[in-house]
Amino acid sequence: MIAREKLAFALLLALASEAFADPIQLAPQPNNPDAFMGIQTTGVIRPVANYRAGGAPWQTTTNSLVFDSAGFLKAQGNENPWLQTLNNFGNGWTFGFNTDATIADNTFQVHTYDAQAPFPPASNSDAFAGAADLNDPTNFFTRCGANNNCVGAEFYFGYHSSGDDPTQNVRWIQVVFDNFVDSAGSFTVDNKDKPAPYYAGAANASAFLDIPSIPSPDAPHTFDALLLLVTGPDTPGNVSIYGGLEWGWSNQPTPEPATLLLLGSGLAGLALTRQLRKRRTATRLADAGQAVSPDASLAPFGRSRRRR
């Protein structure tokens, strides 16, 4: 994606964020990005990072950002595998949902959501450089820069409470599905194996930062997170969930331009064939006296989500 396209995409995201009331507000900081808990963030909203691995084109892409209300999550319960993983945490911890509070608009001010990959260009790995400790050659992000072999994403936002938003004992719980260790993927509570379920990375009551990454750019990876805004005790007890943010990233090979051209031609031919078949079917049904929707064969398959 060229710079002009990236800028247009970022502006589109910003306009969409302004046009629709939402707890998530995109607020990039390209000129003066924050340094948070010793880590220099990039301040960039960049959904795609293109790179090459083994001479072939690849890209890292960030997931859509989605806010899930406490009511939405409660209705899902253990049918949601992220919540099932959390409910299996045990050790005296229990989890409930505060459905009386409505998270205010613009509560989560997202300053960075930046796909990362090996350079060139240099900006592909800005987040790794910002998190590196140049005095420690064994630091994970220092090695990422030195070896130029990591893929991932940086996600950073400020928490700006208002209205019903919690202000006391604010914490974060992150449940993750990834295939970093198990190629089939697995669910974990991202707490660095501590006794409490709370996120143990760079976070406090006013902001959250994570840079999930892996030094394996020539293999496809997935990182899908449900980050929960919660209040709770220091010791085992009941934790109240106010809502959650879905975010993450993946990397995958991308076709060469010539392959894309062939693929586009094939898809165009397939679409034409389907359209002709649909018209013939509609004609036969009309001849038989049956009503048919002109777009019945192209109806979208999916489900709408209640976000608030």
CA nearest to 187, candidates 56, 297, 74, 88: 88
3-state secondary structure of 158: strand
Whole-number pLDDT of residue 255: 84
pTM comes to 0.79
pLDDT digits (tens, 9 = 90+) for 51-94: 999 999 999 999 999 999 999 999 999 999 999 999 999 999 99
Q: What's the CA gap between 273 and 113, in Å, rounded?
A: 40
Residues contacting 141, CB < 8 A, separation 6+: 128, 129, 131, 132, 133, 150, 211, 213
Whole-number pLDDT of residue 271: 55
Whole-number pLDDT of residue 134: 87
Residues in the chain, pLDDT under 50: 1, 16-19, 259-260, 273, 277-278, 280-308
Whole-number pLDDT of residue 165: 97
Q: Give the residue carrying structure tokens 């840079």.
A: 211
Burial level of 201, CB count in 10 A (0-12/13-18/19+)? middle
pLDDT digits (tens, 9 = 90+) for 131-148: 999 899 999 999 999 999
Q: Could you state, in order of their start, the residue ranges of all structural domains in the chain?
A: 3-253, 257-290
Q: What's the CA gap between 226 and 99, in Å, rounded?
A: 18
Whole-number pLDDT of residue 296: 34
